[in-house]
Amino acid sequence: MIRLASVVAILCFALSGPALAASAAVTAACRGDAYRLCGPVIHDEAKRHACMHEHAAQLSAACLTAVRASR
C-alpha cells in the first residue's frame, strides 16, 4: 500500500501543470489513465491528485512502469 501511494504521488506530480521535462515519459504513459479515471477534474490539480490516488489500483501497466522507471 505504501509503495502504491508513492507511485501515485509521483504520478500526480508528473501530471501537474508545468511538469518537469524528466517526467515527460510518465505524463505520456499516464495521460490516458488520468482522462479515463479523472476526466471531469483533470484541470483541477488538487482534485486530480485525489482522484488518481483514489483510483491507483486501476492505473495501467504502462503508467505504473513509467512511474517506477522515473524514480
pLDDT at residue 49, as a whole number: 79
Q: Which residue has the higher pLDDT, 11 or 69?
A: 69
pLDDT at residue 6, as a whole number: 57
Q: Any long-range contacts for 49-58 (C-beta under 8 Å, 24+ apart)?
A: 49/12, 49/16, 52/8, 52/11, 52/12, 52/15, 53/5, 53/8, 53/9, 53/12, 56/4, 56/5, 56/7, 56/8, 57/4, 58/33
pLDDT of residue 2 exceeding 90, the answer is no
State the number of CA atoms in the 13 A half-sphere of 61 facing the CB: 0
pLDDT in tens, 6-58: 566 556 555 554 444 438 888 899 899 999 999 999 998 889 878 888 998 99
pLDDT of residue 71 exceeding 50, the answer is yes
